[in-house]
Structure 1
Amino acid sequence: MSTTGVASAETPTDTPAPYRWRWAALFVILAAEVMDLLDAVVTNIAGPSMRADLGGGASTLQWLAAAYTLSMAVGLVTGGRLGDIHGRRTMFLVGAAGFTVGSLLCAVSVSPEMLISARVVQGLFGAVMLPQGLGMIKEMFPPQESQKAFGMFGPVMGLSAVCGPILAGWLVDADYFGTGWRMIFLINLPLGIAAILGALRYLPTTQSGDKPRLDIPGMFLVSLAALLIIFPLVQGREYDWPAWAFVMMGASVVVFAVFGVYESRRSKAGLDPLVVPSLFRKRGFSGGMTLGLVFFSTMQGFMLVFNLYTQIGLGYSPLKAGLVMVPWSGGMIVGFGVAQGVARFGRAVLQAGALVMALGVFGVWLTLDMVGSGVGPWQLVPSLLVTGIGMGLLMAPFFDIVLASVEQHETGSASGTMTAMQQLGGAFGVAILGTVFFGLLGGGIGSAVDHHAGSLRTQLAAAHVAPATQDRIVADLRRCASDRATAKDSEATPASCARLEKDTRAAVTSPEAAAKIPAALQTTAASAFETGFGTVMKTLLWVVDGMLALTFLLAFLLPRHARPEDAGGH
């Protein structure tokens, strides 16, 4: 019996009883999300161990993540549509089984090529599995509960993103049964089996009344368009942003436009489109896509640069760097809980989350500005906690508001499109903020060397180094420190550092100088490194806050409430 809305004689027909096992089914869906989110981040931590074991060049590290992102992004829209055609429960099972097998192939890989190929398998089956979850949640939960159901994604995403690096660092270091990095994929086996068994027991077997046909040309066009934008984004920096990267990104816009025209014509002809054009005529959905693209770019980009700062700039171990982010995940859970209590305010909750998150990011900036390069984990706790609370407030109502106006026959298409947008947003954020970070880093560290140059010259003069040689050594150190920080291959020695070493040897005139000069250079370089990283990180925090301000403004494109038609409810 329904206790919300206005009762009528038609209620039993128009509003069927909610699915009995909906909360158990939600946890099955979230288990699939956890597998995806963990596998999206663990290679960032375990990548060096993988390369040391299997071999490969510097690009191998990028491709371990890029292969997964690319295959996931190009398959997501199609994966959502497959759920409409063959049933969401069936495609969830296919995706979960394939993802689990892909994880096993990753664990037994004997070469970089095999591992990267196995990552592609994971991404493709993940693209089949993930979109089904959002569609089933919309089907299973009544309007008054969907806010809570969709809101669970925020804390789960935050916990997975934080726990992923911690888990990866722990498993690699622990080397259980001599498996080393392979254990980060082997843990997916029990998770995958549990998801499959849970899906068989708890997921509903609902299916579209009229089966749409798969749009093969549309699938090809959207996959090509996603490939053309994602590939240069993840590989551009590796090749110093060549012209072809920008040509590919421009071509992706053209292909997306062709895809849109084709889908519209296919729909008018009475055929089944891959992406239902009517979705983008809905204010909540189209506005949500734009907002989501900016927000997920902000979130993933911030996590990337903050991880780089703590691990490289502050010298934290992978495990310690992961633990630093625990307050963020804790804050997300708090924010989610608060959001449930104020859900009636709808869009305002999301906007308040953007403002609170921006306040937390400013708090991180203030902490770095006040404490400097000696900042410790405990000093970052308050600001990261506030950042997490804001993110929880923002994430909790997001999916519900965006999917509220989507009709039943559009659910699969909408779910796949939303999940693809998350992947594209993450890739944008990593590429854009990562590029800005490394673009500023060389100059930031060079300026920091200039700042410490007076003290270095004093120490060099005490070691009886001539003024002209001092100038040459300071200039060499500036270039070496800058090149070392931005090198694509951290194990290679930049030419500027080889030149610094040569000039340093030439400046040595006594055993005393042989000890003093390298020590002075090392101290100055270390100080400049910390100062430069801190300066660049503070600049990036302003960029992040600007993106959060844009998120706040874009929220005005969304309807005020997730389900304005349910005015009769609470």
Structure 2
Amino acid sequence: MSQLATGETRSAPLEATGHRWRWLALAVILTAEVMDLLDVLITNLAGPAIRAELGGSASLIQWLGAGYTLAMAVGLITGGRLGDLYGRRRMFLIGVLGFTAASAVCAVATSPGMLIAARVAQGLFGAVLLPQGLGIIKEVFPPQQLAAAFGAFGPVMGIAAVGGPILAGWLVDADLWGTGWRAIFLINLPLGLLATAGALRFLPESRPAHASRLDLPGVGLGAVGALLLVYPLVQGREQGWPTWTYAMMAAAVLVFAAFGRYEVRRQRAGKDPLVVPSLFRRRAFTGGLVAGLAFFTGLTGFSLVFSLYLQLGLGWSPLRAGLAGMPQAIGMVLAFVVAGAGLARRLGRTLIHVGLAVVVVGVAGMLLTLRLVDGELTAWQLVPALLPVGFGMGLVMAPFFDIVLSGVEEAETGSASGTLTAVQQLGGALGVALLGTVFFAEFPDGPGPAVRLTLWAEIGLLALTFGAAFLLPRQARESADAPH
């Protein structure tokens, strides 16, 4: 049984009626989710302006995104356990206060290293913050209202996805009180303080009676392996790909293998593993890891390169670049609506393949547009390509997690869900590192060749996702009721 703030066991009447302030609690959790989503999106647009002021090489732009998502990936696997051990409300508060403080450091950063370190801190505190929200929602809402509560995530996240880049672009261009790009981090301060005040007033304390112990050595091995993989991909191009870059990537494989062996030994010793080893013997889960890693690598890398092409290649302002990306965000929101209306339930895995095909059509349309456009490219000329890119991505994402999780046992769902979410963030870091490096490597030959080569790499990642998706179950479980 879970425990509330009073320390008493949750009563049957509360399970039936829900917590008194449950809708306000949901608003507090959504505020924190918006903070995270905005910080994923904003640095793609603000990166060139940040580099222009702070200096540094092109890799600074990549590390602004990769540092955040890499830290988030490492922390997410164990973030939920911290709430189980020490209380979800307490860890939510620590996460939101730490995230807000790190945002303040980002806003006053005076060097590239200081800013990257603050972004890493944001990712780590975000990994503490985000897992607590879903646990609290399941605690405070009665079963008959859970669907409505989780359903609120879609519209709010959709509005943030559409409005976030535009807001970031406007803040950079407006240069309010001389803050420039720093305003994109300062905006987190009122949001964070509002979320903190709301959490203190409206969130109950809760934790399960039986919580898994932390696997700190496992976290350490996973972190080292991820860093050994991402670091040379970002820095190798500028260093001329010396031998140490290949050695680091080879070492990453060895570290991940050591991680797997350690988890097996830990489970045999009767301890709680970070990732349940039996998951890797399930075709659906391993296929989901490959498909998810390839897909989210392509998704995040595409967003970064698109913004860099418009700003560095075409000389567009951050606001204009943010507005140009609206069709992709709108297409993604529309796809979630369509999938949620029953399409995901009827088509299951087929919807993932359909979505991937639609994305390929959109990327091919962008390649054709860039080839045919004579003279200055306009935002309107990109709409026919960006709409299907966003719509197809939404069709893939809508059923993906539920379908993958339907291929594991119920007892493995928690570990599988945390691992998939971490892989999603790792894919974000790899996308920034890999596709960003492809773009910058070709950029001296012109922005056109650079973006075209990156788009072909994107098609390759989509093809890998398409093949791996055949390993997934055909349908999701009917009982899935939570977003991932």
The answer to whether TM tops 0.5 is yes
1:502-543 CA-partner distances (Å, limit 9, x unpaired): xxxxxxxxxxxxxxxxxxxxxxxxxxx4xxx33443443343
How much has 1:63 moved relative to structure 2? Answer: 4.3
CA distance in 2, matches of 1:236, 1:18: 57
Q: What residue number does 1:79 align with? A: 79
How much has 1:299 moved relative to structure 2? Answer: 0.7
Q: Give 5+ residue unaligned stretches, structure 1.
A: 1-12, 443-481, 483-528
SS at match of 2:270: coil
CA distance in 1, matches of 2:112, 2:456: 38
How much has 1:19 moved relative to structure 2? Answer: 5.7
SS at match of 1:236: helix
Q: What residue number does 2:420 align with? A: 418
Q: What residue number does 1:178 align with? A: 178
1:47-126 to structure 2, matched below 5 A, reads 47-51=47-51, 53-54=53-54, 60-126=60-126
Q: What residue number does 2:227 align with? A: 227
Which AA in structure 1 matches 2:461? M
Q: Does the CA-based 8 Å contact 2:297-2:427 persist in structure 1?
A: yes
CA distance in 2, matches of 1:80, 1:326: 33
The 1:371–1:114 alpha-carbon spacing in structure 2 relative to 1, beyond 3 Å, is closer
Among residues 455, 470, 474, which one is paired with 1:556 in the alignment?
A: 470
1:40-87 CA-partner distances (Å, limit 9, x unpaired): 343344345445555656655554444434433333323233233334
How many residues in Structure 1 have an aligned counterpart in Structure 2? 463
The 1:429–1:83 alpha-carbon spacing in structure 2 relative to 1, beyond 3 Å, is same
- Indicate the larger mover: 265-274 or 174-183: 174-183
> Does 2:167 correspond to 1:253?
no
The 1:134–1:275 alpha-carbon spacing in structure 2 relative to 1, beyond 3 Å, is farther
The 1:66–1:362 alpha-carbon spacing in structure 2 relative to 1, beyond 3 Å, is closer
How much has 1:17 moved relative to structure 2? Answer: 5.5
How much has 1:28 moved relative to structure 2? Answer: 4.2
How much has 1:101 moved relative to structure 2? Answer: 1.3
Pairwise CA RMSD:
3.4
Q: What residue number does 1:350 align with? A: 352
CA distance in 2, matches of 1:206, 1:422: 27
Q: Give 5+ residue unaligned stretches, structure 2.
A: 1-11
The 1:372–1:108 alpha-carbon spacing in structure 2 relative to 1, beyond 3 Å, is same
The 1:373–1:33 alpha-carbon spacing in structure 2 relative to 1, beyond 3 Å, is farther
CA distance in 2, matches of 1:150, 1:241: 47
SS at match of 1:430: helix
Q: Does the CA-based 8 Å contact 2:230-2:433 persist in structure 1?
A: no
How much has 1:404 moved relative to structure 2? Answer: 4.4
Q: What residue number does 1:390 align with? A: 392
1:151-189 CA-partner distances (Å, limit 9, x unpaired): 956x76676566444333321222223333322111001
Q: Does the CA-based 8 Å contact 1:81-1:413 persist in structure 2?
A: no
Q: Does the CA-based 8 Å contact 2:66-2:430 persist in structure 1?
A: no
Q: Does the CA-based 8 Å contact 1:147-1:396 persist in structure 2?
A: no
SS at match of 2:210: coil
Q: Does the CA-based 8 Å contact 1:365-1:541 persist in structure 2?
A: yes
How much has 1:96 moved relative to structure 2? Answer: 1.4
1:120-166 CA-partner distances (Å, limit 9, x unpaired): 3212211212334456667779699769948956x766765664443
The 1:84–1:160 alpha-carbon spacing in structure 2 relative to 1, beyond 3 Å, is same
CA distance in 2, matches of 1:36, 1:314: 29
- Indicate the larger mover: 322-331 or 400-409: 400-409
> Does 2:273 correspond to 1:359?
no
CA distance in 1, matches of 2:200, 2:187: 21
> Does 2:324 correspond to 1:324?
yes
Which AA in structure 2 matches 1:343? A
Q: Does the CA-based 8 Å contact 2:285-2:408 persist in structure 1?
A: yes
- Indicate the larger mover: 33-42 or 223-232: 33-42
1:407-446 to structure 2, matched below 5 A, reads 410=412, 413-442=415-444
The 1:156–1:407 alpha-carbon spacing in structure 2 relative to 1, beyond 3 Å, is farther
CA distance in 1, matches of 2:146, 2:371: 43
Q: What residue number does 1:338 align with? A: 338
Among residues 524, 544, 549, which one is paired with 2:458 in the alignment?
A: 544
How does the TM-score come out when normalised to structure 2? Answer: 0.83
Q: Does the CA-based 8 Å contact 1:132-1:412 persist in structure 2?
A: no
Q: Does the CA-based 8 Å contact 2:328-2:387 persist in structure 1?
A: yes
Q: Does the CA-based 8 Å contact 2:237-2:441 persist in structure 1?
A: no
CA distance in 2, matches of 1:295, 1:151: 25
The 1:236–1:539 alpha-carbon spacing in structure 2 relative to 1, beyond 3 Å, is closer
Q: What residue number does 2:7 align with? A: none
Q: What residue number does 2:35 align with? A: 35
How much has 1:99 moved relative to structure 2? Answer: 0.4
Q: What residue number does 1:127 align with? A: 127
The 1:118–1:276 alpha-carbon spacing in structure 2 relative to 1, beyond 3 Å, is same
Which AA in structure 1 matches 2:43? T
1:340-387 CA-partner distances (Å, limit 9, x unpaired): 121322222222221222222222223233324533211211221122
Among residues 380, 383, 389, which one is paired with 2:382 in the alignment?
A: 380
The 1:410–1:197 alpha-carbon spacing in structure 2 relative to 1, beyond 3 Å, is farther
Q: What residue number does 1:312 align with? A: 312
How does the TM-score come out when normalised to structure 1? Answer: 0.72
Which AA in structure 1 matches 2:344? A
CA distance in 1, matches of 2:113, 2:297: 29
The 1:348–1:87 alpha-carbon spacing in structure 2 relative to 1, beyond 3 Å, is farther
How much has 1:415 moved relative to structure 2? Answer: 4.1
Q: Does the CA-based 8 Å contact 1:401-1:563 persist in structure 2?
A: yes
CA distance in 2, matches of 1:400, 1:143: 20
Among residues 400, 403, 406, which one is paired with 1:401 in the alignment?
A: 403
CA distance in 1, matches of 2:242, 2:130: 34
Which AA in structure 2 matches 1:546? G
Q: What residue number does 1:296 align with? A: 296
Which AA in structure 2 matches 1:365? L
Q: Does the CA-based 8 Å contact 1:74-1:224 persist in structure 2?
A: no
Which AA in structure 2 matches 1:339? A
How much has 1:325 moved relative to structure 2? Answer: 0.8
